[in-house]
Structure 1
Amino acid sequence: MIESPPALFEALVQAAPPGDATLLFDTACVIGGGIAGLLAARVLSDRARRVVVIEPDDLSGTAGPRPGVPQGLQVHTLLPGGQQWLERWVPGLTKEAQERGASLVPGQGTTFLDGVPQALDAEGHHLLAIGRPLLESLIRDRVVSRPGVTVLRGRAIGLRYDGDAVDGVRYTSRSAGDQGDNGARVLDVDFVVDAMGRSSRLSSWLGDSGYDQPRLERLGISINYATALFERSVELADLERPGALALFTPGHSRHGVSTAAVQPIEGMRWIAMLMGYGDSRPGRTVAEFRAACAALPPVFAEAVAGDVVGGVETYHQADNRRRHFADADHLPARLVAVGDAVASFNPIYGQGMSSAALHASCLAAYLGGAPDLDAVAREFYRTQQVVVDAAWAVSAGGDGARLDAQNGTDVPQGVRERRRAMDQIAAATLVDGELAHAFNDVSYMLRHPAVLADPELLARAVAANERAA
């Protein structure tokens, strides 16, 4: 067994489908048909005769976002970590996405910090720029085409237990075009995955049944997104700069913009996003949007120069959240949770979809390890905690530093030292391509954040910053 969190994290990123999977279940159920649920269903399809995905939204169309994904019209980027995992488990997905108009955007030279471009990362990673509805539909089509995988349109309302193990999911069914529920039913199951997202009701169900409710941790962020689509007249191959991410440290925001992104996506469109914290709500109208983009690197003004498609879509998120399943003492067997139901982060870091992929990798590792299915899935939760800790260190770590600086909080000496080290490395990415590569590997969820604690890496960053001063 791999004990080191960095080594375990990297093994999960590299996980591939089993060559000779042992059938463990007759019926497995996934509650939630979003990306986290679909990837869990893909893993379960190797281990169960039948996999039923229960989802309240109508999944028959692909044109627009689902009601259950309020952020569905915002920018979504599949980081290299998630893309590599998906390509192994759903082969050909990237090629099909490109055929449908999505863009495989090189990460080199697309990131700006306080207006200064990051040094070129020689590794040449690419990011898949694609609308969330299209990506979800492509994954869903591949997963549902696997033998035994079906989607049941309905709403899960609780669990049934046999002793201390889950053996059924209570749900109300809904047929196409039906506006109401068609009565409560029970699906007999051998294993359940909660993929209900940020608003998951699993904790309440567990508490109502006498089990522990995993501790909910919140870190307030109060972010405001504004996203708009613009017509694009230039093909991806002919773009001088195929997308950009602009990050601003506290005190350097422009027009209230703390983060901005532009990407070329399907339909010959640019998708552009502006984000502000607290009272900053940049770009609420098209005119405000274009004015804010004019103060950013030139690619932003170029992207929003075309005709707007629709209007400006806004989204607010109050906090980062994580539910500490690994610390709960009394949980039922044959039950796990994945995706935003476990942890959801500040979306500016782009970790959501890739985290969902790695949670599915945790599930594959757990099921492939000859687990005692009649005991609590503690090995799964411990493995998953490595992924959650890694993502939390990046997003909540950055948000915590910003909030502490804003509030004048007196932070412990050890935390101050870690933050100073991270600031040195982030600044050095502007002048040192090797440091940019190391930093991007962590940002792209290819490597564990612990690799940035290497003393030699920090010394190199300090030296680079001194030379650039």
Structure 2
Amino acid sequence: MRRAIVMGGSFAGLLAARVLADHAEEVVVVDPDGADGSGQGAPHRRQLHALLSMGHAQLDRWLPGITEELVAGGAQVGRGPQVQYYVDGVLKACLPDNTLLGATRPFLEERVRRRVLALPQVTVVTAQVRDLIFDGARVRGVRVLPARDTARPDDLADLNGDLVVDAMGRSSRLGTWLAGHGWDSPPMERMKVDLGYATATFDRGDELPGTVVAHATPGPANGYEQRLSEPGALVAVEGNRWSVVLVGYGDYRPGRDPEAFLRRMRRCVAPLREVADRCRWDGDVETFHFPESRRRDFTRLGRFPGGLVAVGDAVASVNPVYGQGLTLATLAASSLSAHLRSGASPQAPAWDYFRRLGVVVDAAWKVSAVADLAQPHVTGPYPPGYRLLRWVGDKVVEASVIDRAVNEEFMAVVNMRKHPRALTSPRLLLRTARVLTGTH
């Protein structure tokens, strides 16, 4: 390719640009925030984010040495017993090889942006994309409006390219633009979850020397009832701080009141209670409402223009409580790389890419959907075999609390290292049965 164009400079867009730098003479990132990313960006970017172990591995693959750079800047890496998962208030079996990176999303994005924009092939255009440009059955570029105070509607300019990548997130207008040029919009599946979450930051001292991550969720013992088992998490992040998130569904969503936030922390597991009692506030409580999970299924379209793909939340935005978003972005970049390395023409419809990515998205959706449907207010759509999946899932969760082997398999799925079908393997189900009946 001579030129590839990425619409959006968020985490997903930056990783797509990194991959495209291996295949194009020039990669242009079009972003109204410009090269420094100083704009608001994703509305939830200041909330606590998780980079699952698969996402961490993919990030190191595309940006070698990034972990060491992040740690040098103050990020924390939790290993083994430093990463603690609680279900119904009970600490799960420890996984000695488990690792998790502790850093805020702005800190992570800043370093990723710096590395990607340092590539000689990558440049940034400060502008807003207003439409696609077509040449017959393929997209040949985008129409942009310069993002400056003096810009006028007639200042639109054409930017030509061999491949256009939609990294515009949940609010992507790709479907509208396709329809405006006579193409079908990708079908969208929705699941209403009505989730609210709130993040606060505290000064970090020596109060929890053996903890980098503590994560608490309600489980089958309490019927997944959030009022009986307070859900929340804390992560040690850069700047000697704790980042604490509380979550809740429906009318149990956390608010901005600091005292109410502390009261909920004190109803959570011991590490969060310790921080609530001993640590000083650093800033305000940030809240965000996530009404629904969404995914656009490009593989269900009968036809699609060449020269166009989508990544990140523009394809799928799932319940953030499971921490899959950043990892999905890394896997979309890797799927795009595999597609281009296969010898596929960037100017042809990218069916192979969308099929590859669809496997990853479907796995993430299955994990989040089955878990979300345990909440009484979530009413579907139900996946095929949901009742059996839910029953099996409950048993595996119960066994994972007390058995390391079951927990290793369970966390491999949670961390997106294995497909959810691993949780229904005969070997794991037999182990689960033996653990729960005391015969292992």
Under a length normalisation based on structure 1, what TM-score does the superposition of the two structures give?
0.88
CA 1:61 to 1:36, structure 2 compared with 1: closer, same or farther past 3 Å?
A: closer
- Cα distance in 2 for residues equivalent to 1:91 and 1:196: 26
Partner SS for 1:279: helix
CA 1:227 to 1:179, structure 2 compared with 1: closer, same or farther past 3 Å?
A: farther
Within-5 A mapping of 1:58-97: 58-60=34-36, 66-97=39-70
Structure 1 counterpart of 2:100, one-letter code: L
Aligned counterpart, 1:365: 338
Superposed displacement of residue 418, structure 1: 1.6
Within-5 A mapping of 1:16-415: 25-60=1-36, 66-106=39-79, 108=81, 110-122=84-96, 124-175=97-148, 178=149, 183-234=155-206, 239-249=209-219, 251=223, 253=225, 259-282=231-254, 284-304=256-276, 305-403=278-376, 414-415=385-386
Runs of at least 5 residues in structure 1 that lack an aligned partner in the other structure: 1-24
**Residues 306-353 of structure 1, C-alpha deviations (whole Å, 9 max, x = no match):** 221111110000001000111111211010000000001110100001
**Residues 412-456 of structure 1, C-alpha deviations (whole Å, 9 max, x = no match):** 983211211111111111111011101111111111111111012
- Cα distance in 1 for residues equivalent to 2:125 and 2:376: 43
Partner SS for 2:25: strand
Structure 2 counterpart of 1:45, one-letter code: A
1:447 to 408, 411, 418: 418
Superposed displacement of residue 241, structure 1: 2.4
- The answer as to whether partners of 1:255 and 1:292 remain within 8 angstroms in 2 is no
- Cα distance in 2 for residues equivalent to 1:379 and 1:258: 43
Structure 2 counterpart of 1:288, one-letter code: A
Partner SS for 2:47: coil
- The answer as to whether partners of 1:254 and 1:295 remain within 8 angstroms in 2 is no
Superposed displacement of residue 61, structure 1: 6.0
- Cα distance in 2 for residues equivalent to 1:156 and 1:132: 25
Once structures 1 and 2 are overlaid, which stretch shifts more, 371-380 or 144-153?
371-380
- Cα distance in 1 for residues equivalent to 2:34 and 2:229: 35
Superposed displacement of residue 375, structure 1: 2.5
- The answer as to whether partners of 1:27 and 1:51 remain within 8 angstroms in 2 is yes
- Cα distance in 1 for residues equivalent to 2:6 and 2:74: 30
- The answer as to whether partners of 1:52 and 1:152 remain within 8 angstroms in 2 is yes
- The answer as to whether partners of 1:174 and 1:181 remain within 8 angstroms in 2 is no
- Cα distance in 2 for residues equivalent to 1:285 and 1:160: 48
- The answer as to whether partners of 1:283 and 1:290 remain within 8 angstroms in 2 is no
Superposed displacement of residue 400, structure 1: 2.4
- Cα distance in 2 for residues equivalent to 1:410 and 1:227: 29
Superposed displacement of residue 359, structure 1: 0.4
Are 1:463 and 2:437 matched, yes or no?
Answer: no
- Structure 1 segments of 4 or more deviating over 4 A? 179-182, 250-258, 409-413
Partner SS for 2:385: helix
Structure 1 counterpart of 2:385, one-letter code: G
- Cα distance in 2 for residues equivalent to 1:344 and 1:467: 40
Under a length normalisation based on structure 2, what TM-score does the superposition of the two structures give?
0.94
Percent identity between the aligned chains?
A: 40
Superposed displacement of residue 205, structure 1: 0.4
CA 1:418 to 1:276, structure 2 compared with 1: closer, same or farther past 3 Å?
A: same
Q: CA RMSD in A?
A: 2.2
- The answer as to whether partners of 1:144 and 1:150 remain within 8 angstroms in 2 is yes
- Cα distance in 2 for residues equivalent to 1:252 and 1:50: 50
- Cα distance in 2 for residues equivalent to 1:343 and 1:411: 18
- The answer as to whether partners of 1:256 and 1:282 remain within 8 angstroms in 2 is no
- Cα distance in 2 for residues equivalent to 1:232 and 1:102: 13
Superposed displacement of residue 281, structure 1: 2.1
CA 1:179 to 1:455, structure 2 compared with 1: closer, same or farther past 3 Å?
A: farther
CA 1:412 to 1:213, structure 2 compared with 1: closer, same or farther past 3 Å?
A: closer
Runs of at least 5 residues in structure 2 that lack an aligned partner in the other structure: none
Partner SS for 1:229: strand
Superposed displacement of residue 379, structure 1: 0.5
**Residues 160-217 of structure 1, C-alpha deviations (whole Å, 9 max, x = no match):** 0111111111111125xx4756721110111010000011100100011101100011
CA 1:191 to 1:324, structure 2 compared with 1: closer, same or farther past 3 Å?
A: same
- Cα distance in 2 for residues equivalent to 1:220 and 1:107: 35
Superposed displacement of residue 269, structure 1: 0.6
CA 1:350 to 1:413, structure 2 compared with 1: closer, same or farther past 3 Å?
A: closer
Are 1:419 and 2:390 matched, yes or no?
Answer: yes
**Residues 134-170 of structure 1, C-alpha deviations (whole Å, 9 max, x = no match):** 1001111111111110111111111101111111111
- The answer as to whether partners of 2:145 and 2:151 remain within 8 angstroms in 1 is no
- Cα distance in 1 for residues equivalent to 2:432 and 2:137: 52
- The answer as to whether partners of 1:166 and 1:335 remain within 8 angstroms in 2 is yes
Structure 2 counterpart of 1:441, one-letter code: A
Partner SS for 1:227: strand
**Residues 255-292 of structure 1, C-alpha deviations (whole Å, 9 max, x = no match):** 58752010110111100000000111235311111111
- Cα distance in 1 for residues equivalent to 2:3 and 2:415: 35
Structure 1 counterpart of 2:218, one-letter code: F
Superposed displacement of residue 253, structure 1: 4.4
- The answer as to whether partners of 2:172 and 2:314 remain within 8 angstroms in 1 is yes
Within-5 A mapping of 1:420-435: 420-435=391-406
